[in-house]
């Protein structure tokens, strides 16, 4: 039996789309360029669904958090990404973080073992002229394919920088200085905290400003950063206290190592660097919010001035790469199809959604849409009051096309609840979303087991 859908890109979105189609009895050819003649500046392996930046899927709270609600909806739709995430899960308080190697291996095994999926290692350089296709090549789309997309759309691709945070070997962290805790003790002792006095913080801040930065290439000029992945040194340029109200905020972190008489602020630090567990063994920890474009030597020198990291050994230093995405509100219809070439759908971060979970969710939806089309069924999308519906609405029309930028799921994308008091609004958004999503799900003719 011939393949019915061609998916280009074996990242999170492509893998999720393949799973959704295969579970519905549809044959899929999944093309991944890594291992087949292509590579990227950020990936380190050829594993499917490799996580190249953080290992966190962010909050798993589905009662008051938009991304937690998205987790809930994806689980109800038998998401492969959420399945693999549970297997690979590591402690992270109320967040969902995973061992990136275990996670990738779980996704790859599920797809390679599925009778309806054929994984092919090949570089696809042009958009197919026919045949149902889902393009899920992510923010690191190969140059040749990107040029083909530009040619097909008539629109220049947009780009922003994404930065990667360093990873530290746990046994090189001085736990006589650092301690384990989550803010306000919520979620247990899931983070390693490195405390800074005011003097240490000011010296570190100046070091960020003075550090040698990576050079820009010609094609990188005037490319904006995505606010959610702002390099630490760029945040530092915004003001001396910006970091203390961002990734280095000390609130809710009571340092048991500091005796009151030794520190004027008692056990409360002026600033705190947090590290989050990166693998199941607990041997690797990533520096939360420390994406950077500093040169490697400058990173090692400066980050070893952080209390507790004086002898830190780095499994990976920070890095930087360009993310590519299309102007989706202008180019795609409500079913993620390319206007004028409706056999092609786009999914994942190449559409301008931002984040692992968001990318996976859009891949999931693209798979469901393609399955419905092949079955001759009318597609009715999830309600705009749900996380999936809100994200889809942003990508396919609600966003301003003239100023379209990548976006994480957030309650600002949902239809407003102005008659609900502010303190109760988040819970009201999630309650409404769950109820409406449940009704939509019940109305589907077939839901995967």
Q: Which residues are annotated as a binding site?
A: 9-14
* HSE, side-chain direction, 13 A CA sphere, residue 401: 11
Residue 342 three-state SS: strand
Structure tokens at 282: 């607990």
Structure tokens at 384: 């705009």
Cβ within 8 Å of residue 331, ≥6 positions away:
153, 155, 338, 339, 346
Question: d(Cα 162, Cα 323) in Å, to the nearest integer?
Answer: 6
With the C-alpha atoms ordered 276, 280, 282, 285, is the resulting torsion angle positive or negative?
negative
List, as residue ranges, the binding site for FAD.
Answer: 9-14
Sequence-ordered alpha helix ranges (H) in 161-281: 198-210, 232-236
Residue 340: exposed, middle, or buried by beta-carbon count in 10 A (0-12, 13-18, 19+)?
Answer: exposed
Rounded to 5 degrees, φ, ψ at 123 are -95, 115
Question: d(Cα 293, Cα 287) in Å, to the nearest integer?
Answer: 14
Residue 298: closest CA among 236, 388, 207, 363: 207
Residue 239: exposed, middle, or buried by beta-carbon count in 10 A (0-12, 13-18, 19+)?
Answer: exposed
Question: d(Cα 8, Cα 245) in Å, to the nearest integer?
Answer: 40
| Beta-sheet strands, E only, within 36-175 | 56-59, 89-90, 95-98, 117-121, 133-135, 158-164, 167-169
- Give the CA radius of gyration of the chain: 22
Question: d(Cα 195, Cα 189) in Å, to the nearest integer?
Answer: 15
Residue with tokens 């499994």: 315
Question: d(Cα 441, Cα 386) in Å, to the nearest integer?
Answer: 11
């Amino acid at each position: 039996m011939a393949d019915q859908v061609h998916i280009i890109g074996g990242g999170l979105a492509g893998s999720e789309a393949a799973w959704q189609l295969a579970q519905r009895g549809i044959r899929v050819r999944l093309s991944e360029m890594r291992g087949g003649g292509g590579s990227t500046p950020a990936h380190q392996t050829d594993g499917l669904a490799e996580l190249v930046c953080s290992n966190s899927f962010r909050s798993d709270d589905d009662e008051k958090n938009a991304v937690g609600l998205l987790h809930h909806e994806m689980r109800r739709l038998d998401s492969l990404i959420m399945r693999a995430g549970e297997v690979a899960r590591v402690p992270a308080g109320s967040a969902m973080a995973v061992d990136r190697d275990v996670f990738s291996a779980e996704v790859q095994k599920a797809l390679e073992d599925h009778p309806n999926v054929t994984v092919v290692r090949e570089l696809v350089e042009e958009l197919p002229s026919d045949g149902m296709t889902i393009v899920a090549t992510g923010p690191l789309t190969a140059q040749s394919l990107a040029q083909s997309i530009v040619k097909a759309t008539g629109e220049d691709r947009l780009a922003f920088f994404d930065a990667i945070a360093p990873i530290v070997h746990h046994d090189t962290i001085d736990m006589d200085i650092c301690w384990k805790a989550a803010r306000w003790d919520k979620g247990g002792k899931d983070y390693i905290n490195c405390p800074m006095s005011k003097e240490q913080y000011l010296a570190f801040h100046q070091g960020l400003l003075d550090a040698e930065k990576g050079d820009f290439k010609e094609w990188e000029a005037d490319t904006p950063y995505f606010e959610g992945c702002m390099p630490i040194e760029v945040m530092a340029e915004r003001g001396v206290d910006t970091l203390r109200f961002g990734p280095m905020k000390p609130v809710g972190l009571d340092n048991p190592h500091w005796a009151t008489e030794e520190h004027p602020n008692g056990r409360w630090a002026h600033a705190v660097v947090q590290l989050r567990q990166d693998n199941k063994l607990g041997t690797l920890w990533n520096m939360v919010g420390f994406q950077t474009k500093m040169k490697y030597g400058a990173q090692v020198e400066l980050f070893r001035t952080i209390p507790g990291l004086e002898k830190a050994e780095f499994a990976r230093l920070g890095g930087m790469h360009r993310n590519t995405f299309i102007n989706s509100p202008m180019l795609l219809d409500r079913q993620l199809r390319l206007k004028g070439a409706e056999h092609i759908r786009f999914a994942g971060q190449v559409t301008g959604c931002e984040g692992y979970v968001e990318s996976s969710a859009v891949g999931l939806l693209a798979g469901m849409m393609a399955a419905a089309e092949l079955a001759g069924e009318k597609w009715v999308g999830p309600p705009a009051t749900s996380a999936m519906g809100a994200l889809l609405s942003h990508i396919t029309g609600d966003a301003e096309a003239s100023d379209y930028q990548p976006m994480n799921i957030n309650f600002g994308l949902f239809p407003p609840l102005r008659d609900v008091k502010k303190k109760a609004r988040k819970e009201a958004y999630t309650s409404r979303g769950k109820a409406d999503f449940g009704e939509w799900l019940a109305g589907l003719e077939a839901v995967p087991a």
